[in-house]
């Protein structure tokens, strides 16, 4: 895979080129022989535009955000990656070692993050003494640099535990060997950066894709929510996770002193500050409802948020829930020679019957966790649920997952004759002659069967349903990836309230999210309320790169990725006296449909090992820095 280092905002390229060409065009002395493909440090920090271009490059390490071809969802009980040979099973089967690491994204991989941190350190070192005169711009860029350094350190911290903290750019002759810092010190360092960023960015209004004060406050709330969780409390680890509890360097992954309740109170305070400031700035979407909306409106609400208000079929106000995002515009048509992410998310993950590639397909485990409309759990042992598993479910299910019979966009012209009514087909159906018609979107399809789903589902969330984007290939979608949204602030606040003794406040805000989605309020308390919250967070933030970390910090990962992959087998048999639809279409008046949940081990046989709570530091990194201590279990 080709690593992409493009800027989050397309203006970075424009500004960089403009500045370079301006410098070159003004150089009248052709006897000067300075290299023309580089800009000196002195020139960079004496010019506001060049300094801004430098900071834009720090953003570039965000990559596609969560819209890479292989998603973090495929390491969780959200999804399965369809295509074998991508080194995903090395991780999900628990065979990862420092010498044989599984797939890692450049958005959290060790060496990539330290490259980004070095760039941020340079900006943090140079901006205070920069000689351009625009102080407001200088403060803004410094705030962005502090924020981005905090972001990249948090990426490392939540995947690896305590890491070496580098707060200045190293020189050529410096000693690069540095020990890992304690977990608590890493949290303090990151929070301090975010406090500086929030202060410097106060009153600054930046374009989409760049950070801001509310993002800094929100990110602080996330960091403190993680820090307060059971995964990072040494006492809880010793009682519940032997591999981690016996780690001789447990201070690298958990607090060994202090009070966990005090940490939850700190997280609650930070989440409420972010939530309130966001509300004051108009952030959030329909979070003031006192009663549940209709199922249709709940689905529309969630779709509008998922599309970031950018789809022609969504409410533009859905963008108000975004606090910090990875923008995508049609200008990024050359993101790669192979469409691997960003504007090509729809190609990567849509159905093969639309000439798409079925990358990160939802698994039955996720589908089963969407509640019924009355708030009860879906249950395969109930005949009425088993007979119609896609009826009367949480409206967010229909806005997130495509299932057999789902309506979708018009088929590409070459496929339209096989499905003139535009319905997802992931089953096998009687042909009336003793044979079977295989769904257009299956691995037995006549349309790109190698790209068919192995789970019986496709991703709906984040794929633009604009009918003009039939196959997601002729035109690029511009749906943003949500790094942080106001709803996460609500959920972080709910969680901190739950674990710091304020269930009433937790229910109030949790039910506001449920009302927006068309779901009934919860009246539960104690462990039942915690379970309801955890499932609410699961379905609300699905495919947003939260589940991987949530399952670990709650210490429930053995029962998430550890329970393997379930898929669905759908069969449509003709009712007596009926004739088949030609071409086939979903029709309950003619077909009896059966749904069977089955184990899926086609690409991977998932299992859990406690070492999987953290990723290993690779052998190469250990060899480069003898002071590094390996994570537990490796």
Tell me the percentage of the chain whose pLDDT exceeds 90: 85
Residues in Cβ contact with 592 at an 8 Å cutoff, skipping those fewer than 6 apart: 572, 573, 574, 575
Residue 560 domain-assigned (yes or no): no
pLDDT at 36 over 80: no
**Residue 57 within any structural domain of the chain:** yes
Which range (400-414, 463-477, 491-505) has the least confidence? 463-477
Strands of 68-156 (E only): list them: 79-81
For residue 324, pLDDT beyond 90: yes
**In which residue are the tokens 């589902």 written?**
457
Query: What are the pLDDT digits (tens) for 178-234?
Result: 999 999 999 999 999 999 999 999 999 888 999 999 999 999 999 999 999 999 999
For position 331, what pLDDT does the model report? Answer: 54
54 occurs within a structural domain: yes
User: In Å, what is the CA distance from 302 to each residue of 399, 457, 509?
Assistant: 7, 19, 17
How large is the average pLDDT for residues 441-445? 97
DSSP state of 497: H
pLDDT score recorded for residue 8: 36
Q: What is the pLDDT of residue 9?
A: 37
Q: What is the pLDDT of residues 289-321, one digit of tens each?
A: 989 999 999 999 999 999 999 998 899 999 999
Buried b (16+ CB within 10 A) or exposed e, 173-200: eeeeeeebbbbbebbebbbebbebbbeb
Better-predicted residue by pLDDT, 401 or 22:
401
| Structure confidence by residue, pLDDT tens digits, 326-352 | 988 655 444 443 334 688 899 999 999
The whole-number pLDDT of residue 29 equals 40
Query: Which run of H or E residues covers position 361?
Result: strand 360-362
Q: 3-class DSSP state for residue 368?
A: helix
Q: Please give the mean pLDDT across all residues of the chain.
A: 91
Asked if residue 572 has pLDDT above 60, the reply is yes
Dist CA 198 CA 143 (whole Å):
7
Is residue 17 over pLDDT 50? no
Contacts of 30 (CB under 8 A, 6+ apart): none
Question: Does 401 have pLDDT greater than 90?
Answer: yes
Q: Of residues 171 and 32, which shows the higher confidence score?
A: 171
Domain carrying residue 78: 11-282
Rounded to whole angstroms, the Cα distance separating 300 from 318 reads: 10
Tell me the per-residue pLDDT of 596-610, one tens digit each, with 9 for 90 and over. 999 999 889 999 999
CATH number for 204: 1.25.40.390
Q: What is the bridge-based pairing of β-strands 360-362 and 79-81? A: antiparallel
Strand partners, 430: 436
Angle, vertex CA 92, rays to CA 561 and CA 631, nearest 5: 100
Number of domains composing the chain? 1
Q: Which residues of 421-444 are buried (b: 16+ CB within 10 A; e: fewer)?
A: ebbbbbbbbbeeeeeebbbbbbbe
Position 272 in a domain = yes
pTM equals 0.92
Q: Is the peptide bond before 574 cis (omega within 30 degrees of 0)?
A: no
Cβ pair 381, 358 in contact under 8 A: no
Q: Let me know the angle formed at the C-alpha of 610 by 66 and 558, rounded to the nearest 5 degrees.
A: 70
Instruction: Let me know if residue 127 belongs to a domain.
Output: yes
* 442 falls within a domain: no
| Angstrom distance (rounded) from CA 631 to CA 634 | 6
Give the span between the Cα atoms of 556 and 236, in whole angstroms. Answer: 13
Pull the structure tokens for residue 179: 């020990």
Percentage of residues of the chain with pLDDT beyond 70? 92
Is 109 inside a domain boundary?
yes
Lowest mean pLDDT among 9-23, 199-213, 377-391, 452-466: 9-23
> Above 60 in pLDDT, residue 14?
no
Predicted local confidence at residue 39, as pLDDT? 64
Reply yes or no on whether the pLDDT at 33 is more than 50. no
Distances in Å between the Cα of 182 and the Cα atoms of 78, 163, 247, 460 are: 31, 8, 13, 41
Contacts of 527 (CB under 8 A, 6+ apart): none
How many helices (H) and strands (E) would you count in the chain? 22, 10
Q: Region 129-146: what's the mean pLDDT? A: 96
Q: Quickly list DSSP for 134-184.
A: -HHHHHHHHHHHHHHHHHHHHHHHHHHSS-----S---TTS----PPPPHH
At residue 19, the pLDDT reads: 40
365 part of a folded domain: no
pLDDT reading at 170 higher than 90 = no
What the block records as the tokens of 128 is 């205070």
């Amino acid at each position: 895979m080709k690593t992409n280092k493009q800027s989050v905002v397309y203006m970075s390229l424009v500004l960089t080129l403009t500045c370079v060409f301006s410098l070159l065009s003004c150089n009248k002395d052709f006897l000067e022989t300075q290299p023309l493909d580089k800009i000196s440090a002195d020139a960079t920090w004496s010019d506001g535009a060049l300094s801004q271009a430098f900071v834009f490059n720090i953003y570039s390490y965000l990559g596609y955000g969560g819209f890479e071809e292989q998603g973090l969802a495929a390491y969780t009980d959200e999804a399965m990656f369809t295509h074998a040979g991508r080194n995903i099973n090395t991780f999900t089967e628990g065979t990862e070692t420092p010498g044989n690491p599984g797939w890692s994204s450049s958005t959290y991989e060790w060496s990539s993050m330290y490259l980004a941190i070095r760039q941020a350190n340079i900006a943090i070192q140079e901006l205070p003494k920069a000689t351009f005169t625009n102080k407001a711009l200088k403060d803004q860029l410094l705030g962005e640099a502090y924020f981005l350094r905090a972001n990249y350190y948090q990426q490392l911290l939540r995947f690896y535990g305590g890491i070496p903290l580098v707060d200045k750019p190293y020189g050529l002759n410096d000693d690069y060997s540095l020990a890992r810092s304690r977990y608590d010190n890493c949290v303090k360092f990151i929070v301090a950066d975010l406090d500086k960023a929030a202060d410097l960015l106060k009153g600054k209004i930046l374009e989409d894709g760049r950070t801001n004060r509310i993002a800094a406050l929100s990110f602080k709330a996330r960091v403190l929510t993680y820090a307060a969780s059971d995964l990072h409390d040494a006492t809880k680890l010793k009682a519940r996770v032997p591999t981690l509890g016996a780690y001789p360097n447990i201070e690298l992954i958990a607090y060994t002193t202090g009070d966990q309740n005090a940490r939850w109170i700190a997280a609650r305070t930070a989440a409420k500050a972010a939530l309130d400031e966001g509300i004051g700035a108009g952030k959030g979407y329909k979070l003031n409802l006192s009663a549940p909306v209709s199922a249709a409106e709940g689905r529309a609400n969630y779709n509008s948020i998922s599309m970031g208000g950018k789809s022609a079929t969504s409410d533009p106000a859905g963008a108000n829930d975004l606090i910090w995002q990875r923008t995508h515009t049609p200008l990024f048509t050359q993101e790669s020679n192979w469409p691997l992410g960003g504007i090509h998310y729809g190609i990567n993950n849509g159905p093969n019957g639309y000439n798409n590639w079925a990358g990160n397909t939802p698994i039955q485990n996720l589908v089963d966790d969407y509640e019924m409309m009355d708030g009860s759990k879906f249950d395969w042992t109930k005949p009425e649920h088993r007979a119609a598993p896609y009826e009367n479910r949480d409206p967010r299910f229909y806005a997130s997952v495509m299932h057999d019979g789902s309506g979708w966009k018009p088929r590409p012209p070459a496929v339209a004759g096989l499905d003139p009514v535009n319905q997802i087909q992931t089953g096998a159906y009687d042909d009336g002659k003793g044979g079977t018609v295989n769904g257009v979107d299956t691995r037995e399809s006549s349309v790109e069967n190698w790209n068919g789903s192995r789970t019986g589902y496709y991703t709906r969330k984040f794929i633009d349903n604009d009918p003009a984007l039939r196959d997601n290939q002729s035109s690029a979608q511009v749906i943003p990836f949500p790094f942080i949204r106001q709803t996460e602030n609500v959920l972080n606040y709910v969680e901190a309230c739950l674990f710091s003794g304020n269930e009433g406040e937790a229910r109030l805000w949790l039910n506001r999210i449920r009302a927006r989605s068309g779901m009934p309020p919860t009246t539960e308390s104690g462990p039942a309320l915690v379970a309801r919250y955890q499932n609410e967070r699961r379905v609300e933030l699905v495919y947003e790169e939260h589940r991987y970390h949530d399952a670990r910090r709650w210490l429930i990962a053995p029962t998430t990725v550890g329970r393997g992959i379930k898929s669905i087998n759908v069969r449509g048999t003709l009712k007596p006296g009926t004739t088949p639809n030609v071409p086939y279409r979903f029709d309950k008046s003619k077909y009896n449909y059966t749904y069977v949940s089955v184990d899926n081990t086609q690409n991977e046989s998932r299992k859990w090992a406690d070492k999987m709570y953290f990723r290993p530091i690779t052998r190469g990194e250990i060899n480069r820095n003898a002071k590094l201590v390996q994570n537990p279990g490796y």
